[in-house]
Amino acid sequence: MTDDALDARLRRLEDESAIQRLLLSYGPAADAGLASFAAEAWLEDGEYDWDDNAEPHQGRAAVEAMLQSDLHHSLIGAGVAHFGGPLLVEIDGDRATALNYSLIMRREDKRFYLWRVSAVRWDVERSGSSWRVRRRTNRVLDGSGAGRALFGSSLQELFGGGPA
Amino acid sequence: MTDDALDARLRRLEDESAIQRLLLSYGPAADAGLASFAAEAWLEDGEYDWDDNAEPHQGRAAVEAMLQSDLHHSLIGAGVAHFGGPLLVEIDGDRATALNYSLIMRREDKRFYLWRVSAVRWDVERSGSSWRVRRRTNRVLDGSGAGRALFGSSLQELFGGGPA
Amino acid sequence: MTDDALDARLRRLEDESAIQRLLLSYGPAADAGLASFAAEAWLEDGEYDWDDNAEPHQGRAAVEAMLQSDLHHSLIGAGVAHFGGPLLVEIDGDRATALNYSLIMRREDKRFYLWRVSAVRWDVERSGSSWRVRRRTNRVLDGSGAGRALFGSSLQELFGGGPA
Protein backbone atom coordinates (compact mmCIF):
# COMPACT_ATOMS: atom_id res chain seq x y z
CA MET A 1 0.00 0.00 0.00
CA THR A 2 1.47 3.37 -0.97
CA ASP A 3 1.50 6.30 1.36
CA ASP A 4 -0.86 8.12 -0.97
CA ALA A 5 -3.45 5.36 -1.02
CA LEU A 6 -3.22 5.12 2.73
CA ASP A 7 -3.58 8.82 3.23
CA ALA A 8 -6.63 8.92 0.96
CA ARG A 9 -8.39 6.19 2.98
CA LEU A 10 -7.59 7.87 6.27
CA ARG A 11 -8.64 11.24 4.95
CA ARG A 12 -12.04 9.97 3.87
CA LEU A 13 -12.71 8.73 7.38
CA GLU A 14 -11.39 11.95 8.91
CA ASP A 15 -13.55 14.02 6.56
CA GLU A 16 -16.60 12.00 7.53
CA SER A 17 -15.84 12.55 11.20
CA ALA A 18 -15.25 16.27 10.68
CA ILE A 19 -18.50 16.71 8.75
CA GLN A 20 -20.47 14.90 11.42
CA ARG A 21 -18.94 17.07 14.14
CA LEU A 22 -19.72 20.21 12.20
CA LEU A 23 -23.34 19.33 11.53
CA LEU A 24 -24.03 17.90 14.99
CA SER A 25 -22.90 21.14 16.60
CA TYR A 26 -25.83 23.07 15.14
CA GLY A 27 -28.59 21.79 17.45
CA PRO A 28 -26.80 22.29 20.77
CA ALA A 29 -25.61 25.74 19.67
CA ALA A 30 -29.11 26.77 18.54
CA ASP A 31 -30.65 25.53 21.79
CA ALA A 32 -27.98 27.33 23.83
CA GLY A 33 -28.74 30.60 22.08
CA LEU A 34 -25.19 30.75 20.66
CA ALA A 35 -26.35 32.40 17.46
CA SER A 36 -22.92 33.33 16.14
CA PHE A 37 -21.48 29.88 16.92
CA ALA A 38 -24.35 28.10 15.19
CA ALA A 39 -24.25 30.37 12.14
CA GLU A 40 -20.48 29.89 11.85
CA ALA A 41 -21.18 26.42 10.41
CA TRP A 42 -22.33 28.13 7.21
CA LEU A 43 -20.16 29.62 4.49
CA GLU A 44 -20.46 33.37 4.50
CA ASP A 45 -22.67 33.15 1.40
CA GLY A 46 -24.30 29.86 2.41
CA GLU A 47 -28.05 29.32 2.53
CA TYR A 48 -30.59 27.86 4.92
CA ASP A 49 -33.69 26.85 2.97
CA TRP A 50 -35.72 25.91 6.03
CA ASP A 51 -39.24 25.51 4.56
CA ASP A 52 -40.75 25.33 1.10
CA ASN A 53 -43.40 27.91 2.05
CA ALA A 54 -40.93 30.56 3.15
CA GLU A 55 -37.94 32.51 1.93
CA PRO A 56 -34.53 30.91 2.59
CA HIS A 57 -32.11 32.60 4.96
CA GLN A 58 -29.47 33.93 2.54
CA GLY A 59 -25.98 34.13 4.01
CA ARG A 60 -24.43 33.35 7.36
CA ALA A 61 -25.57 36.69 8.78
CA ALA A 62 -29.20 35.85 8.00
CA VAL A 63 -28.90 32.51 9.82
CA GLU A 64 -27.46 34.34 12.80
CA ALA A 65 -30.25 36.94 12.70
CA MET A 66 -32.88 34.18 12.74
CA LEU A 67 -31.24 32.68 15.82
CA GLN A 68 -31.25 36.10 17.49
CA SER A 69 -34.92 36.71 16.72
CA ASP A 70 -37.66 37.04 19.32
CA LEU A 71 -39.30 33.92 17.90
CA HIS A 72 -36.21 31.78 18.43
CA HIS A 73 -35.70 33.17 21.92
CA SER A 74 -39.31 32.48 22.83
CA LEU A 75 -38.78 28.84 21.82
CA ILE A 76 -35.69 28.61 24.01
CA GLY A 77 -37.41 30.37 26.88
CA ALA A 78 -40.24 27.83 26.96
CA GLY A 79 -37.94 24.84 26.41
CA VAL A 80 -36.91 23.42 23.06
CA ALA A 81 -34.58 20.88 21.47
CA HIS A 82 -33.34 21.19 17.87
CA PHE A 83 -32.41 17.54 17.65
CA GLY A 84 -30.50 16.22 14.63
CA GLY A 85 -30.45 12.50 13.89
CA PRO A 86 -27.52 10.38 12.69
CA LEU A 87 -26.02 11.55 9.42
CA LEU A 88 -25.75 9.61 6.17
CA VAL A 89 -22.67 11.25 4.62
CA GLU A 90 -21.54 10.92 1.01
CA ILE A 91 -18.22 12.61 0.19
CA ASP A 92 -17.07 13.61 -3.29
CA GLY A 93 -13.66 15.29 -3.06
CA ASP A 94 -14.09 18.76 -1.61
CA ARG A 95 -17.88 18.53 -1.50
CA ALA A 96 -20.18 16.30 0.44
CA THR A 97 -23.87 15.73 1.01
CA ALA A 98 -25.44 14.52 4.23
CA LEU A 99 -29.00 13.44 4.96
CA ASN A 100 -30.66 13.21 8.34
CA TYR A 101 -33.86 13.92 10.25
CA SER A 102 -34.44 17.07 12.27
CA LEU A 103 -36.85 16.83 15.21
CA ILE A 104 -37.89 20.01 16.97
CA MET A 105 -39.29 19.16 20.38
CA ARG A 106 -41.09 21.74 22.52
CA ARG A 107 -41.92 21.74 26.19
CA GLU A 108 -45.59 21.74 27.25
CA ASP A 109 -47.26 20.67 30.51
CA LYS A 110 -44.24 18.81 31.91
CA ARG A 111 -43.76 16.89 28.68
CA PHE A 112 -42.32 17.61 25.28
CA TYR A 113 -44.10 17.31 21.96
CA LEU A 114 -42.83 16.84 18.42
CA TRP A 115 -43.52 20.09 16.64
CA ARG A 116 -41.64 19.77 13.35
CA VAL A 117 -40.20 16.52 11.97
CA SER A 118 -38.24 17.21 8.81
CA ALA A 119 -36.16 15.59 6.13
CA VAL A 120 -32.84 17.43 5.96
CA ARG A 121 -30.22 17.66 3.24
CA TRP A 122 -26.89 19.34 3.95
CA ASP A 123 -24.62 20.34 1.07
CA VAL A 124 -21.18 21.08 2.50
CA GLU A 125 -17.82 22.16 1.09
CA ARG A 126 -14.24 21.96 2.23
CA SER A 127 -13.10 25.39 3.35
CA GLY A 128 -9.39 25.48 4.21
CA SER A 129 -8.85 22.80 6.85
CA SER A 130 -12.54 22.75 7.81
CA TRP A 131 -15.89 21.99 6.24
CA ARG A 132 -18.72 24.50 5.99
CA VAL A 133 -22.38 24.45 4.91
CA ARG A 134 -23.19 25.65 1.38
CA ARG A 135 -26.91 24.93 1.77
CA ARG A 136 -29.15 23.29 4.34
CA THR A 137 -32.58 22.26 3.09
CA ASN A 138 -35.40 21.22 5.46
CA ARG A 139 -38.76 19.82 4.38
CA VAL A 140 -41.44 18.75 6.86
CA LEU A 141 -42.49 15.11 6.55
CA ASP A 142 -46.18 15.93 6.45
CA GLY A 143 -48.91 15.19 3.94
CA SER A 144 -47.56 17.80 1.51
CA GLY A 145 -45.01 15.34 0.17
CA ALA A 146 -42.19 17.88 0.45
CA GLY A 147 -40.09 15.81 2.85
CA ARG A 148 -40.71 12.71 0.81
CA ALA A 149 -39.53 14.46 -2.35
CA LEU A 150 -36.36 15.79 -0.72
CA PHE A 151 -35.29 12.38 0.59
CA GLY A 152 -36.27 10.64 -2.63
CA SER A 153 -34.47 12.92 -5.06
CA SER A 154 -31.37 13.09 -2.84
CA LEU A 155 -31.05 9.33 -2.44
CA GLN A 156 -31.45 8.77 -6.15
CA GLU A 157 -28.94 11.49 -7.01
CA LEU A 158 -26.35 10.17 -4.56
CA PHE A 159 -26.81 6.42 -4.82
CA GLY A 160 -28.92 5.56 -7.87
CA GLY A 161 -31.18 2.56 -7.38
CA GLY A 162 -29.99 1.31 -4.03
CA PRO A 163 -27.57 1.70 -1.12
CA ALA A 164 -23.84 1.41 -1.81
CA MET B 1 3.51 -1.50 11.93
CA THR B 2 3.11 -3.87 8.97
CA ASP B 3 0.98 -3.04 5.99
CA ASP B 4 -1.33 -5.88 6.93
CA ALA B 5 -1.92 -4.66 10.47
CA LEU B 6 -2.52 -1.20 9.15
CA ASP B 7 -4.94 -2.37 6.52
CA ALA B 8 -6.90 -4.37 9.09
CA ARG B 9 -7.32 -1.33 11.35
CA LEU B 10 -8.40 0.86 8.47
CA ARG B 11 -10.74 -1.77 7.15
CA ARG B 12 -12.52 -2.10 10.49
CA LEU B 13 -13.24 1.61 10.50
CA GLU B 14 -14.29 1.54 6.85
CA ASP B 15 -16.59 -1.42 7.50
CA GLU B 16 -18.18 0.40 10.42
CA SER B 17 -18.77 3.44 8.23
CA ALA B 18 -20.19 1.32 5.39
CA ILE B 19 -22.57 -0.53 7.73
CA GLN B 20 -23.83 2.70 9.22
CA ARG B 21 -24.45 4.17 5.78
CA LEU B 22 -26.29 1.05 4.67
CA LEU B 23 -28.56 0.92 7.70
CA LEU B 24 -29.18 4.67 7.89
CA SER B 25 -30.42 4.66 4.30
CA TYR B 26 -33.48 2.58 5.19
CA GLY B 27 -35.56 5.26 6.91
CA PRO B 28 -35.21 8.00 4.28
CA ALA B 29 -35.86 5.47 1.50
CA ALA B 30 -38.95 4.09 3.26
CA ASP B 31 -40.30 7.60 3.89
CA ALA B 32 -39.63 8.56 0.28
CA GLY B 33 -41.59 5.58 -0.99
CA LEU B 34 -38.49 4.17 -2.69
CA ALA B 35 -39.53 0.58 -2.03
CA SER B 36 -36.95 -1.09 -4.25
CA PHE B 37 -34.11 1.09 -2.92
CA ALA B 38 -35.02 0.39 0.70
CA ALA B 39 -35.42 -3.35 0.13
CA GLU B 40 -32.07 -3.48 -1.67
CA ALA B 41 -30.39 -3.23 1.76
CA TRP B 42 -31.46 -6.84 2.38
CA LEU B 43 -29.86 -9.99 1.01
CA GLU B 44 -32.15 -11.62 -1.51
CA ASP B 45 -33.05 -14.25 1.10
CA GLY B 46 -32.80 -11.88 4.06
CA GLU B 47 -35.56 -11.44 6.64
CA TYR B 48 -37.40 -8.60 8.32
CA ASP B 49 -38.86 -9.84 11.61
CA TRP B 50 -40.74 -6.64 12.37
CA ASP B 51 -42.98 -7.69 15.28
CA ASP B 52 -43.23 -10.69 17.58
CA ASN B 53 -46.99 -10.93 16.95
CA ALA B 54 -46.72 -11.16 13.19
CA GLU B 55 -45.09 -13.18 10.45
CA PRO B 56 -41.64 -11.95 9.32
CA HIS B 57 -41.21 -10.60 5.81
CA GLN B 58 -39.21 -13.40 4.18
CA GLY B 59 -36.87 -12.26 1.43
CA ARG B 60 -36.03 -8.94 -0.17
CA ALA B 61 -39.09 -9.12 -2.40
CA ALA B 62 -41.37 -9.37 0.66
CA VAL B 63 -39.76 -6.27 2.20
CA GLU B 64 -40.33 -4.43 -1.06
CA ALA B 65 -43.96 -5.60 -1.22
CA MET B 66 -44.58 -4.29 2.31
CA LEU B 67 -43.21 -0.90 1.29
CA GLN B 68 -45.48 -0.89 -1.77
CA SER B 69 -48.57 -1.78 0.26
CA ASP B 70 -51.57 0.49 0.71
CA LEU B 71 -50.86 0.61 4.45
CA HIS B 72 -47.35 1.95 3.94
CA HIS B 73 -48.55 4.47 1.36
CA SER B 74 -51.30 5.66 3.67
CA LEU B 75 -48.65 6.35 6.34
CA ILE B 76 -46.57 8.35 3.86
CA GLY B 77 -49.63 10.19 2.58
CA ALA B 78 -50.54 11.43 6.05
CA GLY B 79 -46.94 12.20 7.04
CA VAL B 80 -44.51 9.79 8.66
CA ALA B 81 -40.86 9.42 9.68
CA HIS B 82 -39.17 6.04 10.03
CA PHE B 83 -36.37 7.41 12.17
CA GLY B 84 -33.39 5.23 13.07
CA GLY B 85 -31.14 6.19 15.99
CA PRO B 86 -27.35 5.98 16.19
CA LEU B 87 -25.97 2.49 15.64
CA LEU B 88 -23.90 0.43 18.05
CA VAL B 89 -21.94 -1.75 15.61
CA GLU B 90 -19.96 -4.88 16.49
CA ILE B 91 -18.01 -6.44 13.61
CA ASP B 92 -16.78 -10.02 13.47
CA GLY B 93 -15.00 -10.62 10.15
CA ASP B 94 -17.59 -10.84 7.40
CA ARG B 95 -20.53 -10.55 9.78
CA ALA B 96 -21.66 -7.76 12.04
CA THR B 97 -24.45 -6.94 14.43
CA ALA B 98 -25.83 -3.48 15.07
CA LEU B 99 -28.30 -2.27 17.70
CA ASN B 100 -30.33 0.91 17.62
CA TYR B 101 -33.76 2.37 18.31
CA SER B 102 -36.44 2.82 15.68
CA LEU B 103 -38.96 5.62 16.20
CA ILE B 104 -41.95 5.84 13.91
CA MET B 105 -43.46 9.30 14.10
CA ARG B 106 -46.81 10.14 12.54
CA ARG B 107 -48.40 13.46 11.70
CA GLU B 108 -51.61 14.50 13.49
CA ASP B 109 -53.16 17.93 14.08
CA LYS B 110 -50.06 19.93 13.09
CA ARG B 111 -47.85 17.87 15.37
CA PHE B 112 -46.24 14.45 15.23
CA TYR B 113 -46.68 11.65 17.71
CA LEU B 114 -44.56 8.64 18.59
CA TRP B 115 -46.42 5.63 17.32
CA ARG B 116 -43.93 2.77 17.62
CA VAL B 117 -40.68 2.94 19.60
CA SER B 118 -38.70 -0.27 19.09
CA ALA B 119 -35.50 -2.01 19.99
CA VAL B 120 -33.79 -3.05 16.76
CA ARG B 121 -31.15 -5.64 16.02
CA TRP B 122 -29.56 -5.81 12.58
CA ASP B 123 -27.57 -8.90 11.55
CA VAL B 124 -25.55 -8.01 8.47
CA GLU B 125 -23.09 -9.82 6.20
CA ARG B 126 -20.40 -8.79 3.80
CA SER B 127 -21.61 -9.33 0.25
CA GLY B 128 -18.90 -8.66 -2.33
CA SER B 129 -17.65 -5.12 -1.70
CA SER B 130 -20.82 -4.17 0.18
CA TRP B 131 -22.72 -5.17 3.30
CA ARG B 132 -26.30 -6.42 3.28
CA VAL B 133 -28.94 -7.30 5.88
CA ARG B 134 -29.38 -10.95 6.77
CA ARG B 135 -32.05 -10.20 9.37
CA ARG B 136 -33.62 -7.14 10.96
CA THR B 137 -35.51 -7.74 14.18
CA ASN B 138 -37.80 -5.09 15.75
CA ARG B 139 -39.46 -5.37 19.15
CA VAL B 140 -41.64 -2.62 20.60
CA LEU B 141 -40.42 -1.28 23.95
CA ASP B 142 -43.80 -1.64 25.60
CA GLY B 143 -44.97 -3.52 28.67
CA SER B 144 -44.72 -6.87 26.89
CA GLY B 145 -41.00 -7.06 27.61
CA ALA B 146 -40.21 -7.98 24.00
CA GLY B 147 -37.97 -4.97 23.37
CA ARG B 148 -36.28 -5.42 26.70
CA ALA B 149 -35.51 -9.05 25.89
CA LEU B 150 -34.08 -8.24 22.46
CA PHE B 151 -31.70 -5.59 23.78
CA GLY B 152 -30.75 -7.71 26.78
CA SER B 153 -29.94 -10.92 24.97
CA SER B 154 -28.10 -9.08 22.20
CA LEU B 155 -25.89 -7.06 24.55
CA GLN B 156 -24.99 -10.16 26.54
CA GLU B 157 -24.25 -12.17 23.42
CA LEU B 158 -22.06 -9.45 21.93
CA PHE B 159 -20.32 -8.03 24.99
CA GLY B 160 -20.80 -10.35 27.95
CA GLY B 161 -21.10 -8.55 31.27
CA GLY B 162 -20.30 -5.00 30.25
CA PRO B 163 -19.27 -2.62 27.48
CA ALA B 164 -15.94 -3.18 25.71
CA MET C 1 4.22 9.81 6.50
CA THR C 2 5.91 8.23 9.54
CA ASP C 3 4.46 5.24 11.29
CA ASP C 4 3.92 7.37 14.37
CA ALA C 5 1.93 10.03 12.55
CA LEU C 6 -0.12 7.33 10.91
CA ASP C 7 -0.78 5.55 14.15
CA ALA C 8 -1.89 8.77 15.80
CA ARG C 9 -4.42 9.49 13.06
CA LEU C 10 -5.78 5.95 13.16
CA ARG C 11 -5.90 5.99 16.93
CA ARG C 12 -7.98 9.17 17.03
CA LEU C 13 -10.58 7.55 14.77
CA GLU C 14 -10.49 4.33 16.79
CA ASP C 15 -10.89 6.27 20.03
CA GLU C 16 -13.87 8.12 18.62
CA SER C 17 -15.46 4.84 17.59
CA ALA C 18 -14.76 3.24 20.99
CA ILE C 19 -16.22 6.21 22.88
CA GLN C 20 -19.36 6.15 20.77
CA ARG C 21 -19.81 2.43 21.33
CA LEU C 22 -19.33 2.86 25.07
CA LEU C 23 -21.82 5.69 25.41
CA LEU C 24 -24.41 4.21 23.03
CA SER C 25 -24.53 1.01 25.08
CA TYR C 26 -26.06 2.80 28.07
CA GLY C 27 -29.61 3.21 26.74
CA PRO C 28 -30.17 -0.36 25.54
CA ALA C 29 -28.63 -1.74 28.76
CA ALA C 30 -30.80 0.53 30.94
CA ASP C 31 -33.94 -0.42 29.00
CA ALA C 32 -33.05 -4.11 29.24
CA GLY C 33 -32.69 -3.89 33.01
CA LEU C 34 -29.01 -4.86 32.76
CA ALA C 35 -28.06 -2.68 35.74
CA SER C 36 -24.54 -4.00 36.19
CA PHE C 37 -23.76 -3.82 32.45
CA ALA C 38 -25.00 -0.24 32.18
CA ALA C 39 -23.16 0.89 35.33
CA GLU C 40 -19.95 -0.73 34.07
CA ALA C 41 -19.58 2.19 31.65
CA TRP C 42 -18.63 4.38 34.65
CA LEU C 43 -15.31 4.48 36.44
CA GLU C 44 -15.64 3.00 39.88
CA ASP C 45 -15.57 6.51 41.36
CA GLY C 46 -17.40 8.13 38.44
CA GLU C 47 -20.47 10.31 38.83
CA TYR C 48 -23.91 10.62 37.27
CA ASP C 49 -25.21 14.13 37.82
CA TRP C 50 -28.63 13.47 36.36
CA ASP C 51 -30.59 16.60 37.39
CA ASP C 52 -29.74 19.97 38.86
CA ASN C 53 -32.49 19.60 41.48
CA ALA C 54 -31.21 16.30 42.87
CA GLU C 55 -28.13 14.70 44.34
CA PRO C 56 -25.76 13.08 41.82
CA HIS C 57 -25.26 9.33 41.88
CA GLN C 58 -21.74 9.04 43.29
CA GLY C 59 -19.80 6.01 42.09
CA ARG C 60 -20.53 3.11 39.79
CA ALA C 61 -22.36 1.24 42.54
CA ALA C 62 -24.80 4.14 42.97
CA VAL C 63 -25.57 4.14 39.23
CA GLU C 64 -26.22 0.42 39.43
CA ALA C 65 -28.47 0.86 42.49
CA MET C 66 -30.54 3.47 40.64
CA LEU C 67 -31.02 1.04 37.77
CA GLN C 68 -32.11 -1.65 40.22
CA SER C 69 -34.62 0.63 41.95
CA ASP C 70 -38.36 0.10 41.95
CA LEU C 71 -38.76 3.40 40.09
CA HIS C 72 -36.55 2.28 37.22
CA HIS C 73 -38.25 -1.11 37.06
CA SER C 74 -41.68 0.50 37.00
CA LEU C 75 -40.56 2.53 33.98
CA ILE C 76 -39.39 -0.62 32.21
CA GLY C 77 -42.52 -2.51 33.17
CA ALA C 78 -44.79 0.08 31.56
CA GLY C 79 -42.54 0.53 28.50
CA VAL C 80 -39.68 3.00 28.21
CA ALA C 81 -36.80 3.99 25.92
CA HIS C 82 -33.68 5.76 27.20
CA PHE C 83 -32.71 7.00 23.77
CA GLY C 84 -29.35 8.71 23.23
CA GLY C 85 -28.79 10.87 20.16
CA PRO C 86 -25.67 11.05 17.97
CA LEU C 87 -22.54 12.06 19.86
CA LEU C 88 -20.36 15.09 19.22
CA VAL C 89 -17.00 13.80 20.51
CA GLU C 90 -13.92 15.94 21.25
CA ILE C 91 -10.82 13.98 22.25
CA ASP C 92 -7.84 15.41 24.15
CA GLY C 93 -5.28 12.65 24.72
CA ASP C 94 -6.57 10.33 27.43
CA ARG C 95 -9.67 12.40 28.11
CA ALA C 96 -12.63 13.24 25.96
CA THR C 97 -15.91 15.08 26.15
CA ALA C 98 -19.05 14.16 24.27
CA LEU C 99 -22.33 16.05 23.90
CA ASN C 100 -25.66 14.63 22.86
CA TYR C 101 -29.39 14.69 23.59
CA SER C 102 -31.13 12.19 25.82
CA LEU C 103 -34.81 11.48 25.13
CA ILE C 104 -36.77 9.39 27.59
CA MET C 105 -39.92 8.08 25.93
CA ARG C 106 -42.67 6.39 27.90
CA ARG C 107 -45.53 4.21 26.76
CA GLU C 108 -49.12 5.44 27.26
CA ASP C 109 -52.37 4.50 25.53
CA LYS C 110 -50.74 2.66 22.62
CA ARG C 111 -48.41 5.55 21.95
CA PHE C 112 -45.22 6.90 23.48
CA TYR C 113 -44.66 10.38 24.86
CA LEU C 114 -41.52 12.43 25.42
CA TRP C 115 -41.09 12.65 29.16
CA ARG C 116 -37.61 14.11 29.62
CA VAL C 117 -35.56 15.76 26.84
CA SER C 118 -32.12 16.65 28.15
CA ALA C 119 -28.82 18.15 27.16
CA VAL C 120 -26.09 15.67 28.07
CA ARG C 121 -22.38 16.09 28.62
CA TRP C 122 -20.16 13.03 29.05
CA ASP C 123 -16.65 13.42 30.45
CA VAL C 124 -14.76 10.22 29.74
CA GLU C 125 -11.24 8.92 30.41
CA ARG C 126 -9.04 6.26 28.94
CA SER C 127 -8.84 3.33 31.34
CA GLY C 128 -6.40 0.65 30.19
CA SER C 129 -7.48 -0.36 26.68
CA SER C 130 -11.01 0.99 27.19
CA TRP C 131 -12.76 4.26 27.91
CA ARG C 132 -14.93 4.87 30.94
CA VAL C 133 -17.22 7.66 32.19
CA ARG C 134 -15.80 10.10 34.75
CA ARG C 135 -19.00 12.15 34.86
CA ARG C 136 -22.30 12.25 33.02
CA THR C 137 -24.29 15.45 33.39
CA ASN C 138 -27.95 15.76 32.27
CA ARG C 139 -29.97 18.97 32.23
CA VAL C 140 -33.57 19.10 31.02
CA LEU C 141 -34.14 21.49 28.10
CA ASP C 142 -37.07 23.22 29.79
CA GLY C 143 -37.74 26.83 30.70
CA SER C 144 -35.27 26.69 33.59
CA GLY C 145 -32.38 27.35 31.25
CA ALA C 146 -30.34 24.49 32.76
CA GLY C 147 -30.03 22.53 29.51
CA ARG C 148 -29.25 25.69 27.61
CA ALA C 149 -26.46 26.55 30.05
CA LEU C 150 -24.91 23.08 29.87
CA PHE C 151 -24.76 23.04 26.07
CA GLY C 152 -23.60 26.65 25.92
CA SER C 153 -20.75 26.41 28.42
CA SER C 154 -19.59 23.08 27.01
CA LEU C 155 -19.49 24.25 23.39
CA GLN C 156 -17.56 27.40 24.35
CA GLU C 157 -15.11 25.46 26.50
CA LEU C 158 -14.47 22.86 23.77
CA PHE C 159 -14.59 24.94 20.62
CA GLY C 160 -14.45 28.65 21.47
CA GLY C 161 -16.47 30.85 19.15
CA GLY C 162 -17.50 28.34 16.50
CA PRO C 163 -17.30 24.79 15.20
CA ALA C 164 -13.87 23.37 14.26
- What value does the mean pLDDT of chain C take? 97
Best of B26, B100, B111 to disrupt the A interface (most A CBs within 10 Å) is B111
Pairing of strands A42-49, A130-140: parallel
Q: Does B17 touch chain A (CB under 8 A)?
A: yes
- Tell me A20's DSSP state: H
Using DSSP, state whether A59 is helix, strand or coil: coil
Using DSSP, state whether B141 is helix, strand or coil: coil
Q: Does C93 touch chain A (CB under 8 A)?
A: no
Q: Does A7 touch chain B (CB under 8 A)?
A: no
Distance CA C142, CA C7 (A): 43
- Tell me A162's DSSP state: S
- Asked if ipTM goes beyond 0.90, one says yes
Using DSSP, state whether C32 is helix, strand or coil: coil
pLDDT band at B158; cut points 50, 70, 90:
very high
Sheet strands (E) in B18-69: 42-49, 57-58
Q: How far is C26 from chain A (nearest CA, A)?
A: 17
Closest C-alpha to B36, from A39, A154, A155: A155
pLDDT digits 0-9 by tens, B120-151: 999 999 999 999 999 999 999 999 999 999 99
**Mean pLDDT over residues A104-119, rounded?**
98
Q: How far is B11 from chain A (nearest CA, A)?
A: 9
| CB spacing of C86 vs A20 below 8 angstroms | yes
Q: Is 90 exceeded by the pLDDT of residue C51? A: yes
pLDDT band at A4; cut points 50, 70, 90:
confident
Residues of A in contact with C142 (CB under 8 A): 79, 107
Q: Is 80 exceeded by the pLDDT of residue C32? A: yes
Q: Does B37 touch chain A (CB under 8 A)?
A: yes
Distance CA B1, CA A163 (A): 34
Whether pTM exceeds 0.80: yes
Closest C-alpha to B108, from A106, A139, A142: A142
A31 → closest Cβ in C113, C147, C162: C147
pLDDT of residue C2: 80
Q: Does B6 touch chain A (CB under 8 A)?
A: yes
List subunits contacting chain B, requiring 3 or more Cβ pairs under 8 Å: A, C
Contact indicator for A103, B69 with CB cutoff of 8 Å: no
pLDDT of residue B37: 98
pLDDT digits 0-9 by tens, C118-162: 999 999 999 999 999 999 999 999 999 999 999 999 999 999 999
Q: Does A156 touch chain B (CB under 8 A)?
A: yes
**Mean pLDDT over residues A84-108, rounded?**
98
> Long-range contact list for A42-49, CB < 8 A, 24+ apart?
A42/A132, A42/A133, A42/A136, A43/A125, A43/A127, A43/A132, A43/A133, A43/A134, A46/A132, A46/A133, A46/A134, A46/A135, A46/A136, A47/A134, A47/A135, A47/A136, A48/A133, A48/A135, A48/A136, A49/A135, A49/A136, A49/A137, A49/A138
| CB spacing of A34 vs C10 below 8 angstroms | no
